[in-house]
Chain A
Amino acid sequence: MTVPTPDVIDRLADIHPGSFVDRIRKERPETRDNAQKSYLALFEPAHEGDVTRTERLIVATFVAGLHRADAAEAFYASGIEGDAAGITAVKSEIEGGWTSGPYGKYPSGPLSSEDKPGPAFTVSETGRKALGQKLSAALEHSHLLVYRPREASPAALQALLDAGWTTTAVVTLSQIVAFLAFQVRVVTGLAALSEAG
């Protein structure tokens, strides 16, 4: 028998049953339930498809870490089983990847005056050896999506395909990064609401 997974946003934002933020969340049960179902669809998938559970968790750990969302980073890292080297490598890549966003260049034109150039992340040689080409490409793309999504391009997707990900896997990876960008912000927002009392 499977034990129902507790609500991840409640857990990460430290929202307790009966608290006022808990009551607020329960006024939007569809939002609450589907945020959780999104988590389950990505991390406890009925169809693992072209991205393994460990790969999903390593990407999520990296994305949470880039957001400096410590509780989420620890939560996703704790789900990675039997890959201590992968956890060590991803934590090192997080520290190498820290910056502030959003930044990046716009398509050439009237918005060019708002261009904010910034770094394109590459996984270290040590990280690449530990994580392999596929995951390294996934982390490099994740960094782009987290900090400079306006610089996304067909070439960036081709790099994922060239590293061995399928088109469907690229959709799943994109959803993992984008969902995490949502989840960590809901946690930040609701934790602040809770703290404000």
Chain B
Amino acid sequence: MTETVIHPPIDNRPAAFTQAEIGWTPWLQPLTEEDLTDRHWAGLVDASRSKSPYFMLLARDPEILEARTKTDKDIFYNTRAGLPRAERELSATAASRLNGCIFCASVHSRFASHHSKRTGYVQKLLDEGTDADLGSRRWNAVTKVSVALTQTPSTFGVTDIEHLRSEGLDDLEIADAIHGAAFFNWANRLMLSLGEPTPAA
């Protein structure tokens, strides 16, 4: 039998980029806790993610969810050397802004603001888009290369590496910036296509 999608009734759908704590609701039926086997729990990585409709939907294919989650966590949370957390989040926010993922941009702009204390410049990126002057050559460089990598096909090349080096990024920091932007080209496509944002509570 053909399955059907969910058409969530939402008042005041978020229609602009924001740092507010908006929500997300799926267009396909997530699993329920009763559906979960050991394989699914392993895929969730953190048991607390069984409370998230997004992760419970992705848990339908638990092996790729597990590998995706561990990739995500290391790119953003492993702060042993490399790019400061704020700039990884900036890279994620810039990719999300360009692709148009209001939900992803909300989460990662909050993280960028929290770690940098540059809330106003983060808001400028959300309000004006990826060409905004973020008041720091280094931030402008990280944003510009995230955009170059996010364009499809990517316009990223050796000049982008040289640009980051001229702003003082070493090779591990450059690799972190590349991974932050690249990962959000994965995350944006899931968040944008499997559901939609809901207003802040």
Contact = CB atoms under 8 A, between A and B. Distances in A.
Interface of A: 20-21, 24-25, 27-28, 30-31, 34-35, 37-38, 40-42, 45-47, 49, 66-69, 100-102, 104, 106-111, 114, 144-147, 149-150, 152, 154-158, 161-162, 164, 166-168, 170-172, 174-175, 177-179, 181-186, 188-190, 192-193, 195-196
A181 B189 contact: yes
B156 A189 contact: yes
B171 A188 contact: no
Contacts of A196: 158, 161-162, 165
A42 B160 contact: no
Contact of B172 (A24, A106, A168, A170): A24
Interface of A is mostly: helix
B151 A149 contact: no
Contact of A188 (B15, B154, B194): B154
A30 B154 contact: no
Given A41-B64, A171-B61, A182-B182, A28 B152 contact: no
9 contacts: A41-B66, A45-B63, A67-B152, A106-B15, A107-B13, A107-B15, A178-B187, A185-B154, A196-B165
Nearest to A106: B100
A20 B170 CA distance: 12
A100 B14 CA distance: 26
Contact of A37 (B4, B67, B151, B192): B67
Interface in B134-178: 149-154, 156-158, 160-162, 165, 171-172, 174-176, 178
Contacts of A162: 2
A145 B193 contact: yes
B84 to A, nearest CB: 15
B64 A175 contact: yes
Contacts of B111: none
B28 A192 contact: no
Interface of B is mostly: helix
Contacts of A190: 175, 178
A192 B149 CA distance: 11
A45 B57 CA distance: 18
B99 A150 contact: yes
Nearest to B149: A185
Contacts of A144: 193
Given A185-B178, A192-B158, A175 B27 contact: no
